[in-house]
Structure 1
Amino acid sequence: MQSPISTDRLRFLLNRLRERLWVRPLAVCLISIAAVFTAKLADDSGLADFVPEVTLDSIETLLAIMASSMLMIATFSVSSMVSAYASTSNTATPRSFSLVVADDVSQNALSTFVGAFIFSVVALMAVKNAYFEKPGLFILFILTAMVFAIVIVTFVRWVDNIARLGRLGSTIDKVEKATARALQQRKKFPTLCAMPETSTELQGQPIFTSSVGYVQHIDMAAIQSWAEETHSQILIAALPGTLAAPDQALAYISSSDNLVNSAAQNKSSHDKSAIDCSSVIKAFQIGNNRLFEDDPRFGLVVLSEIAARALSPAVNDSGTAITVISSLLRLLTLWNGANVQPGQETESEEEQCKYERIAVPTLCMQDMFDDAFTAIARDGAGAIEVSVRLQKALNTLSAIGDTEMNEAALYHARLALKRAQRALDVEEDIAIVEKAASFSKHASKQ
C-alpha cells in the first residue's frame, strides 16, 4: 500500500515553503499572539504576592512605541529586500533569484519585525481592556522587554546583511554554496539510492507526461512502492533538470509478468494501457523552472550565466568571470571527490541501492563541463586574462580528475584555445594562451 506522501517528497515540499516570504512572518505572528495570551496564565498561578507591580502606563508606552516603529521598520525592510532582488536580476542572473529570496537572515528579520508589530498591537489592545491582572502585567512586561532585545539584535545583524544582499559577489557565493550542497548530495547518492543503469539500450514501455516543464524532483519512494506492487522494473530517463515534454519519455517500465512487451515501446494509447502508470508520472514533480536542490548541473549553468553577462560588451567585467571560473574549479574539484570524507563514502555504499527496482543513470561529466565552461570560453575568448585563467583551471581539473574528467577538461581546453586564436588579434596574446594550453597538446601526443 503506497503511503500518502513519502519523506523525500515532504522534504521537497517543505523546502519550497522555505522560499515563500510569507511563511515565516505568518508563523512568527501566530507565536506572537500566543505569547500575549500566555501571559494571562500567570494571573491564576498565585504569583501576585511575589512579583513586583508594573504600572499600566509603562507597559502602554513601550507597546505604543513598538507598534508605531515596527510597522515602519518592516516596511523599510521589505523595500530594501525588493531592491536587493532587483539588483540580483540585473547584475547577476534572474535564475539566482530564488536563492536570494530564501536568505535566512532577511527572512528572519522581516519575520521578527512583523511579529513584534503584531505582538505590540495585540498586547496593547489587551492592556487597554484590562485583560491582565498584576502577575499577567509583569509577565507581559518581561515579554515586551525580550521582544525589544530580539528586535535590536535582529536589526543590527540584518543591517550588516542587507548591505551585501543582492550584490554580485554575495550572489555568486550563494549560488556556489547551493551548487556545492547539490553536488555533495549527488556525489553521495549518484543514482538517487537506486540501481545504476547498466543497459546501453532503453527497453520497456515509455511513459510520458502531458505537461511541459522541467523535472524538479523525483519521488523515488513512491516509484519503488508502485514497482513492488506491479512487479515491475523502472528505468529513469529524465533526471531533475531535464526538460519534460509530451514526446520525451520520463521513464521506461518493464514487467516480469509480460504485461509489457517490446511492442509497447511506441506511444500508442492501447500499448500504454497495459499498465496504469499514472502513479509513476505523478512521482515526477514538473515545474516551469529548474531548482538548485536536486539538480547539480543547474548551479553550474547559473554560474556560467553570471560570467557570460559579466563578459558582455555592455558590462565588460572580466574580473567577475575569473571569480566564477574559480568557483567552478572548486565545485568540480569537490565533485571529483577531493573533499568527501571516508565516513560519507561508507554510508553511501550502504544506502545506494535502497530502491532495487529502479535504475538511474549517473551524471555525465562531459555535460557538466559543457554547462560550466562553454559560455565562458565563447564570450571570454577575446579577453586574454579570462582565456588564460580558464586554461589554468582546465589544466588543474585534467591533472586531478579521473579519466572521464581528464577527457572533458582536455576537450574544453582545446576548444577554448581555438576560440581564443580566432578572437585575439595580437600574436603575443595568442602565444600566451597557447602556452597556458600546452598541457592539452602534450596530452594529445601521448
Structure 2
Amino acid sequence: MKDRFRFFLNRIGEKLWVKPFVMCVLSIAGVFLAKLADDTEANQFIPNITLDSIEALLSIISSSMLVIATFAVASMVSAYASASSVATPRSFSLIISDDVSQNALSTFIGAFIFSIVALIALKNGYYEQAGRFALFVLTLLIFSVVIITLVRWVDCIARLGRIGETSDKVEAATAAALRRLRYAPTLCGASVEADLVVDQVIYGNVVGYVQRIDVAALQVYAEEVKIRITVVALPGAFSAPGQALAYITVGSSDLSSINVDRITREFLIDNDRKFDEDPRFGLIVLSEIASRAMSPAINDPGTAIGIIGTFVRLFVLWGEPISEGDIRISKYNRVAVPEISLEDMFDDAFTAIARDGAGTVEVAIRLQKAFGSLASMENSPMRAIAIRYARLALVRAEKTLEFPEDLERVRKLVKFTDLP
C-alpha cells in the first residue's frame, strides 16, 4: 500500500495543474473563513481596519500577481524546453515535478484568486469589523508568503532546466529507485526457481512499458486459486501482445479456473517508463545526457565525465553490502520475481558513452578509471563485469584514437584487468 501510494503521489506531482487548483480552493475558503470572526465577540477589543486600507492592499496583490504568474509560467516553459533540448526529453517528468516551481506558481495564482474574491466580498459589505480585521491579517500573511516564495523561486528558476541541475535530479531519482530495489531485490516476492515448471504463459494485451507491478495483489489471487506466479516482465520491460508478462505453475489446481485478466491488470502498463521502480531507466537517461553532450553540436566532454562519476556513485551504492536487518522480508511466497541484471545495468550506463567517447581521450581515460574503481569493490559479480566493459571500451578506443600517446595512456589504465 505504501509503494502504491508513493507511485500515485509521484504521478500527481507530474500534473502541473494540481497544486494551483488546490491553492485556489484554499484561497477561496480563506476568504469565507475570515467571516467567522464576525460571529465572535472580538469586535470589542480589535482595531477597526478601514475598507480603503484593505482594498488598497488587495488591489496591489491582484494587479501584480497575475503578471508574476504569467512570467512564472513563461520561465517554467523556457526551462522545460531547455531541459529537453540540452539534456534529454526523457528528463521532462522530473523537471515538471519540481516542487519549488510548482509551489511558486501555485502561490502566485492562489494569491491572485484570493485578492479578487476578497475584493468582491469586501465591496459588497460581506464583513463586519472583526471580519475585516481577520481578512486584513490573512492578506498580510499571504503577502509575506508571496514575497518569500518569490525570492526562493528566483534562485530556483535560474538553475531549473540547466544540464547540471537536470543531471542531479535524474541521479536522485535513480538512487532512490536503486535503494528501494536493494532492500527488496525481488519486490518482496520469492526467488525464481531454477527448475521452473510453466503450465501457462500470461501475455500482455497492452502495448507500452511496465511501470509497476502490484505483487501484493498477485499474491492474494495466487492464494485464492492455489497457483504460483513467476513474473517475467520487470518494471521498464516493453509489453505487447505476444510478450510474456508472467508464467503460471498450477500444481494440483485446475488450469481452466485461472482468470488471466486478474493477473494482467496488476501490471500497470503505459506509454512511458517511470523512474520510481525502474532504475535502469534512470541510467539510460543519464547516458543519453552524456551522449548528447559529446555530440559535435554541443562538444561538452566535461558533462560526460561528470556523468561517469555519477555512474560510479550509483554503482557503489548498488554494490555496497547490506545488513540482514535492512532487507525487506520476502512475504509473497506464491509470487516469484527475478532480480535485476547487473550486466544490463552496466550496458544501459556505459555502452553509449564508450561508443560516443571512444575518440575523446579524456572521456576514455575517465571511463577506465571508473571501471577500475568499480572493479576494486569487494563485489565479485561487479568486478567481473567492470573488467569486461573496460576491455570493450579499450577495443573501441583502439579503433578510434589516432594519436599513439593518447592510446598508450588509456592502455596503461586497463592493466587492472590482468590482475586475478
TM range (shorter): over 0.9
Q: Is the CA contact (8 Å cut-off) linking 1:191 and 1:352 kept in structure 2? A: no
Shift of 1:325: 0.1
Distance, in Å, in 2 between the alignment partners of 1:14 and 1:244 is 24
Partner of 2:213: 218
Tell me, what secondary structure is at the counterpart of 1:250?
A: strand
Long gaps (5+) in structure 2: none
What aligned pairs does 1:14-413 form with structure 2 within 5 A after superposition? 14-199=9-194, 201=196, 203-260=198-255, 274-337=257-320, 342=323, 345-348=324-327, 351-413=328-390
Question: Is residue 225–residue 257 contact of structure 2 (8 Å, CA) maintained in 1?
Answer: no
1:209, CA displacement in angstroms?
1.7
Cα displacement (A) at 1:352: 2.5
CA distance in 1, matches of 2:274, 2:195: 28
- 1:398-437 counterparts in 2 under 5 A? 398-437=375-414
Q: How many angstroms apart in 1 are the aligned matches of 2:315 and 2:143?
A: 46
Residue equivalent to 1:268 = none
1-side partners of 2:112 and 2:194: how far apart?
Answer: 61
> Structure 2 CA distance, aligned partners of 1:89 and 1:204?
46
Distance 1:227 1:65 in 2: 63
Q: Which runs of 5+ in 1 are unaligned?
A: 1-5, 261-272
By how many angstroms is 1:8 displaced?
3.5
Note the C-alpha offset of 1:274.
4.8
Measure, in 1, the Cα distance between the counterparts of 2:150 and 2:306. Answer: 31
Cα distance between partner residues in 2 of 1:201 and 1:243: 23
Q: CA deviation at 1:198?
A: 2.8
TM-score where L is the length of structure 2: 0.98
Question: Could you tell me the TM-score, scaled by structure 1's length?
Answer: 0.92
CA distance in 1, matches of 2:181, 2:134: 50
Secondary structure of the 1:252 match is strand
1:192–1:352 CA contact under 8 A, matched in 2: no
* Aligned residues of 2:226 and 2:253 also touching (Cα < 8 A): no
Q: CA RMSD, aligned part only?
A: 1.3
Q: Secondary structure at the match of 2:275?
A: coil
Equivalent in the alignment of 1:264: none
> In structure 1, the residue corresponding to 2:193 is in which secondary structure?
coil
Rounded to whole Å, the distance in 2 between the matches of 1:57 and 1:292 is 52
SS at match of 1:174: helix
Question: What is the identity, as a one-letter code, of the residue corresponding to 1:381?
Answer: A
Secondary structure of residue in 2 paired with 1:130: coil
The SS at the match of 1:207 is strand
CA distance in 2, matches of 1:347, 1:438: 37
Q: CA deviation at 1:9?
A: 2.9
Q: Secondary structure at the match of 2:142?
A: helix
1:403 deviates by 1.3
Distance 2:307 2:116 in 1: 47
Aligned residues: 420
- Distance (Å, rounded) in 1 between the aligned partners of 2:234 and 2:204: 14
Residue 10 in structure 1 maps to residue 31 in structure 2? no
Q: In structure 1, how many angstroms separate the alpha carbons of the residues matched to 2:326 and 2:296?
A: 48
2:307 corresponds to which letter in structure 1? V
Moved more, 277-286 or 248-257: 248-257
Partner of 2:201: helix, strand, or coil? strand
Distance across 2 between alignment mates of 1:433 and 1:149: 58
Residue identity opposite 1:179 in structure 2: T
How far apart are 1:221 and its partner, in Å?
1.5
Query: What is the identity, as a one-letter code, of the residue corresponding to 1:108?
Result: N
Closer, same or farther: CA 78–190 of 1 in aligned 2, 3 Å: same
Q: Kindly provide the CA deviation profile for residues 326-358 of structure 1, in whole angstroms up to 9, marking residues without a partner as x.
A: 0000000000126x6x5xx4142xx33121111
Shift of 1:312: 1.2
What are the superposed Cα offsets for residues 28-66 of structure 1, whole Å, 9 maximum, x if unpaired? Answer: 111111111111000001110011000000000111110
One-letter amino acid of the counterpart of residue 283, structure 2: L
TM-superposition CA deviations, 1:85-110 (whole Å, max 9, x none): 00001100000010000101000000
Structure 1 residue 7: deviation in Å?
4.7
Aligned-residue sequence identity (percent) comes to: 55
CA distance in 2, matches of 1:115, 1:258: 58
Query: What amino acid does structure 2 have at the position aligned with 1:376?
Result: I
**Residues of 1 paired with 2:14 and 2:378: CA distance?**
35
Shift of 1:11: 3.0
Secondary structure of the 1:400 match is coil
Determine if contact 2:227/2:253 at 8 Å carries over to the other structure.
no
